[in-house]
Structure 1
Amino acid sequence: MSRAASSAGGTASRLSLRRELLIGLAVFAVYAVVDSVPVAGRSAAAEAHSRALDAFETGLGVGFVRPLNAWLTEHPVLCTLANYEYATTYLVSAFIMLVWLYRRRPDRYPVARTSFALINLVAVACFALYPVTPPRLLPGLGFVDTVRLGQTWGSWGTPVIDSANQLAAMPSLHVAWALWVSVELARISAGRAVQAIGVLHVAVTVLVTLATANHYLLDSAGAAVLVLGCVHVAERFAGAPRDRRVGPSDAFFLAVESPRSPQHVGGLIILAAPEGALTRERLVAVVGDRLGALPRFRQRLAPRGRWRRPVWAEHPVLDWDWHVAARDLPAPGGAAALDHLVAGLQGEPLPRDRPLWRLVLVRGYDPERTAVVFLMHHVVADGLGVVAHALRLMEPELPPAPDEGAAGPGAVRRTAGTAAGLLQLAAEGRQGTRLPSGASGERSFGALGLPLGAVRDVARGHGARVTDVLLCAVAGGLSRVSAACGADAGAAARADAAPGRLRVSVPLMMRTPATPPEGNHTAAVMIDVPVGPMAERDRLAAIARRSGRLRGGTRVAAAWFVMRRAPLVLPPPLHAAFARAVYGGRTFQAIVSNLPGLDLDVRLAGAPMLAVHPILPTAPGAPLAVGALSWSGRLNFGVSVEPALLDDAAKLCGAMHEVIGELGRDGGGRGARRAGGDHGRQG
């Protein structure tokens, strides 16, 4: 099945006949209510407006209504046919068009329905503000009322439908509906014969409205302006297919990005390939072969103005020299030079005039190892989404994960939990201090790798979880590095109590096995962790007591609700302001993410993958981001820090290693030896 067909099918499944009928009834109700409101002098005003239009057309030399009306009255059969045409064909053609679009072109139907509704609503407003009597009802100007003269059963203005609005000539809805059908036929690229019939229908409708003296030529001109304007508005504000619109939670990261806070995520991939075994050309070939399964690799952001979120637009010509690049490390290479390169790439915003991804092959790192840096903008995917995109470049190709279909809480429990979480979030005070943050996009990056089993042993030995150990390592490591640099970490992050507190944003995954890799499906929960001089076992115990909020469900449900729903009620400028207000140094000081990984043996371009270290962006005003990813029995860390806080992320990596080692010794057993004795990044 093609992507277009799949998209159409997905849209069709979202259409609701009941909802569409309600929309139609709502539009008709507006018309009925407006028409029923008594307005003093409406008839006199409508007649005056009609006579003014007649005089204006006569002055312009386009007074075609009288001669056409006089000619038609001399041909009774044509007169009857014209009356029936005026009464029926615009209704039938519009109805058929709507039904056909609903059933056969569900991708176009929402835009068409919106434009059709707008046409009618704007026309109703015109009828209310500027009523115009049809020429055939004006006495003394020589027009013949062919409808009443022929007594055409069921035609406009006869007793059968005599309740219809008789003061609604400008604009002509008969012409508007016929023209709307013709425009939609052109928009869906119907066959030439069908489009020709549509154009002919418009021409006949205009001619009939004039000959029956139901409308002036200016009424048809007003209809044309109305249709073109409403179609343009509908396409501009609702015309993008759902799978091409930037999602609400994705747009969040566009709003918070700035030159000093680039928002791309990724990974530092270490491969068991000798220097020179993997070439840039080979990487280009691998990516080129997999482009069909990577839609965002072929799309760029297309802005649609200040008041609408951008859409994903096809970008078929890729700049391969930029997207798949090669960088040489200065001799003698090694981990420090590699970390410096990664930090530099982190500080370079991804340009938005092209697809928002990049692969960088690093040469000169290690004679027996090859490094590849994979970066992707946060608007494309979250951390696990980036992992999923990277896996699509790997071998062997992994089958789609089965959707277990686990039943979640019911609607009532889910609503109650979300409401409780919103109250909890509202009750939380803002963090009290700000960590020093730089004015540029400079970063320092560091990597650390430990046996996953050892970290799990440490967690079990202290009755905690792996995420608790990670938070303790970050807080204790920052305390040690700050003390070593002569700074008081407790004072640097002090809030209201001693020892000092570091408020950390912990992203939690909201994905299921069936969730596509594109898009952000995370919600963050804040947790205060103690910093400053103290025994690490005490620090870990305090964190373990507080970390229940990460698993309670109510706060994460509330955060997920806000991420998804806030943009639906806020226009894009206000949503962007909201995002900048809640994401960054005013709300938290650091980001710590523990990503669940996989136990897989995979290869990139034939080279076995040894490790992947997460690359997380720092938030505006929050100068520290730490990611951990478990992979094939390893827990691999990636630390990103702004130089204003710490000039060398490797120092923090070393201090984190020391903290986990101390916890292992305090907890005893195998975890002490394993956690304290392995500080490698490549396995």
Structure 2
Amino acid sequence: PLDASFLHVEDSSSHMHVACVMVFAGPPPAYEELLQHLGSRLHLVPRYRKRLALVPLGQGRPRWVDDQDFDLRFHVRRTALPAPGTETELQVLAGRVFSQPLRRDRPLWEIWLVEGLGKGRFALLSKTHHALVDGVSGLDILSVLFAPEEESSVDGERWQAQPAPSGAQLLRESLLERATVPAEGVRAARAVLRGPRRLAGEALAKLRGASAFAFAGLSPAPITPFNEDLVGPDRRFAWVRMSLSDVKAIKNSLGGTVNDVVLTMVNGALRRYLLRRGADLEGMTLKALVPVSVRAPDERGALGNKVSGMIAPLPVSCADPVASLQTIAGAMDQVKSSGQAIGAQALTELSGFAPANLISQAGRVAFRQRFINLVVTNIPGPQQPLTMAGREMLDIFPMVPLGSNLALGVAIVSYNGTLNFGLVGDFKVMHDLEDLVGDLSDAAAELAGAAGIAAEHPAVASSSAPPRSRGVEPWAGYDALTVAQIDKRLRGAGPALLGRVEAYEKQNGQRKGILRSIGRELARR
């Protein structure tokens, strides 16, 4: 059911693919060599040769069928960076590639070979639809694709697509499946009679968890610059490198978990960013959806989604990083004990009994929400180096998809001793995403300092772009004022001052509250 929901909520602006940038040491492989390398391993991920088949009249969830016209060259593409080939050019390219939706009539994945990256490196850009993989599954699949030669095969050359079922056959199978749901209920009832106490306890735990998850979303999330507008189709992408050992040292010094420390760093970065945008942070607590994998150890490497979620509070009103960490750690302990993740999984499982067209409408309603401000996902990756055709992967930077009113997302992945943050933003709303990259580095350094940790590998912001010039403030101290304070100052202001403020805001924050105040004052004249 959850796999299908990612298809139903996707539209021309909300693209539901997960993605990543992988940076490798050494010269890039020849395009034909890359095709051979990937083609010899596709038998390990059969769904990478399957496309979607829609059930007529929306009477069932889409099915995976073999792509009769499968062409590896369509999915594996080659490009190069313009000079000087820095990571800034790579970020721009990644933002553009990640802005394009995947074709529904083809297997839902792409890999781009990127040449011309400086310092003797090259990159791969990977895009895979969320209906195909969740974050953990996606990393497992990357491990498979980078499998050693002894796991390769020539099966790809002999693979033959199975005939796709007709529309009538798909409809018939879907209706038959729906007719068997009551039988599933009978089997469940028999199981209850065999083990009533055990199943009743499981049901009660799921009910409590579902209630906790629903209750956590009852109060609306505060309005922020990255929630005011609907996202467009275009993206910006950037990243920050950190050391996993440094993050663990902070955890050991101040308490909490690695995930608590990561959330505290994100909290500190968002606080800096919102203050610079003129937000009034008094008493403000943001809500972050934190996806949680419920994939069993024996399911690692399997495709599909085994993911649930918890709502984590981010106290951006708190200026003390240690106090913020304590608040987040305590809140996350309560969230975990409440069973939110189990409850969220139970709620998504309910959609398995609904027709596809009903799931589609429900998914779109749920996605257009004001219950969370952003998604922050932390994915454990392999802690040994991966190689592809003898070339070691140095870094991986993940990307989480954006929702219709969620213009900012943060994805974190640990790999071979590193902890790398991928930041994705709507191209227009998050026009200053590179500033948030610097904020995250500063927040990490502040938390490490508070823990008394001399970071072995300080956080490194990816952008080498020059700082954006904000221009001259309309009056001294303007940037330190809140929207409410500026609104008060603008009451009765003359056209010259209103013009200066309007020009400054359009160059920088574009805060709607201030622009509305200017419009109000101009309308009075």
Shorter-chain TM range is 0.7 to 0.9
- Is contact 2:222-2:284 (8 Å) kept? no
Tell me the equivalent position of 1:437.
229
Is the CA contact (8 Å cut-off) linking 2:265 and 2:444 kept in structure 1?
yes
What SS is found at the alignment partner of 1:672?
A: coil
CA distance in 1, matches of 2:417, 2:324: 26
Matched, 1:416 2:216: no
AA matched with 2:242:
L
The unaligned stretches of length 5 or more in structure 2 are: 152-196, 464-525
Deviations 1:277-322 (A, max 9, x none): 3222221111111121111111000111222111111114333343
- The residue aligned with 1:672 is 454
Distance across 2 between alignment mates of 1:267 and 1:425: 29
8 A contact 2:395–2:415 mirrored in 1: yes
**Larger RCO, structures 1/2 (Cα 8 Å, 6+ apart):** 2
Aligned length: 412
Q: Is the 8 A contact 2:14 2:231 kept in 1?
A: no
Taking a change above 3 Å as real, the CA distance of residues 596 and 489 of structure 1, as seen in their structure-2 partners, is: farther
Bigger Cα displacement from structure 2, 377-386 vs 582-591: 582-591
Root mean square deviation of aligned Cα: 2.2
- Aligned residue among 87, 90, 94 for 1:338: 90
Residues 1:500 and 2:267 aligned together: no
Establish whether residue 640 from structure 1 lines up as the match of residue 424 from structure 2. Answer: yes
**Structure 1 residues without counterparts, runs of 5 or longer:** 1-247, 400-408, 491-497
Residues of 2 paired with 1:280 and 1:551: CA distance? 47
- Once residues 325 and 458 of structure 1 are traced to their aligned partners in structure 2, the CA distance between those partners, rounded to angstroms, is 41
Distance 1:576 1:411 in 2: 31
Q: CA deviation at 1:386?
A: 1.1
Counterparts of residues 597-616 of structure 1 (less than 5 Å): 597-616=381-400
Confirm or deny: 8 A CA contact 1:256 1:620 kept in the other structure: no
CA gap of 1:397–1:566, structure 2 versus 1, over 3 A, is: farther
Once the two structures are superposed, residues 66-114 of structure 1 have per-residue CA deviations (whole angstroms, 9 ceiling, x without a partner) of: xxxxxxxxxxxxxxxxxxxxxxxxxxxxxxxxxxxxxxxxxxxxxxxxx
- Report the equivalent of 1:130: none
Does structure 1 retain, via aligned residues, the 8 Å contact 2:285–2:315?
Answer: yes
Distance 1:560 1:677, change over 3 A: closer
The 2-side partners of 1:410 and 1:272 are apart by: 53
| Matched ranges for 1:188-207 at <5 A | none
| Aligned partner of residue 600 in structure 1, secondary structure | coil
Return the index of the structure with the highest Cα Rg: 1
2:323 aligned partner: 538
Cα offset, 1:633, TM superposition: 0.7
Structure 2: distance between partners of 1:356 and 1:509: 21
Partner of 2:241: 449
Query: AA paired with 1:672?
Result: A
Does 2:273 align with 1:481?
yes
Give 1:17-36 correspondences, 5 Å limit.
none
Distance in 2 of aligned mates of 1:633 and 1:477: 23
State the partner residue of 2:29. Answer: 278
Question: Equivalents in 2 of 1:532, 1:332: separation in Å?
Answer: 41
Cα contact 1:658–1:676 (8 A) shared by 2: no
- Structure 1 residues 512-571: Cα deviation after superposition (integer angstroms, max 9, x where no partner): 122152110000111221124612222222211211145326111111111122231x22
Q: Deviations over 1:587-628 (max 9, x none)?
A: 311000111122122211221111211121112211111111
Distance between the aligned counterparts of 1:584 and 1:414, measured in 2? Answer: 31
Match of 1:125 in 2: none
Whether the 8 Å CA contact 1:489–1:531 is kept in 2: the answer is: no
Checking the alignment, whether the CA contact within 8 Å between 2:109 and 2:128 is kept in structure 1 is yes
Shift in CA distance, 489/604, structure 1 to aligned 2, threshold 3 Å: farther
Tell whether the 8 Å contact from 1:340 to 1:445 is kept in structure 2 after alignment. yes
CA drift of 1:482 comes to 3.0
TM-score, normalised with respect to structure 2: 0.74
Matched, 1:617 2:409: no
Aligned positions of 1:90-105 closer than 5 A:
none
Structure-1 residue corresponding to 2:133: 381
Change (3 A) 1:426 1:387: closer
How far apart in 2 are the matches of 1:587 and 1:447?
26
**Closer, same or farther: CA 524–596 of 1 in aligned 2, 3 Å:** same
Q: Which amino acid aligns with 2:455?
A: R
State the alpha-carbon separation in 1 of the partners of residues 294 and 326 from structure 2.
Answer: 27
- Check conservation: 2:108, 2:129, Cα contact below 8 A: yes
Q: Distance in 2 between matches of 1:598 and 1:443?
A: 27
Task: Determine the C-alpha separation between the residues in 1 that align with 2:98 and 2:358.
Answer: 28
Q: Encode CA deviations 1:649-679: one digit per residue, 9 max, x unaligned.
A: 33222211211111111111xx333364655
- Taking a change above 3 Å as real, the CA distance of residues 342 and 565 of structure 1, as seen in their structure-2 partners, is same
Cα gap change, 1:355 to 1:373, in 2 (>3 Å): same
Q: Aligned partners of 1:489, 1:301: CA distance in 2, in Å?
A: 47
Q: Which residue of 2 aligns with 1:296?
A: 47
Q: Which residue of 1 aligns with 2:362?
A: 578
Amino acid across the alignment from 1:582: A
Percent of residue pairs bearing the same amino acid type: 27
Which structure dedicates a bigger proportion of its chain to helix?
1
1:469 alignment partner in structure 2:
261
**Does residue 352 in structure 1 map to residue 104 in structure 2?**
yes
Aligned residue number for residue 165 of structure 2: none
Asked whether 1:558 is paired with 2:346, we answer no
The 5 A counterparts of 1:393-404 are 393-396=145-148
SS of residue paired to 2:419: strand
Contact 1:396 / 1:602 at 8 angstroms: preserved in 2?
A: no
Distance 2:150 2:287 in 1: 38
The 3 A distance-change label for structure 1 pair 675 and 469 is farther
Residue identity opposite 1:250 in structure 2: D
Decide which moves more: 295-304 or 671-680. Answer: 671-680
Contact 1:346 1:617 in 2 (8 A): no
Question: What's the TM-score once normalised by structure 1's chain length?
Answer: 0.58
The secondary structure found in structure 2 opposite 1:593 is strand
1:191 maps to: none
Helix, strand or coil: the match of 2:41? Answer: helix
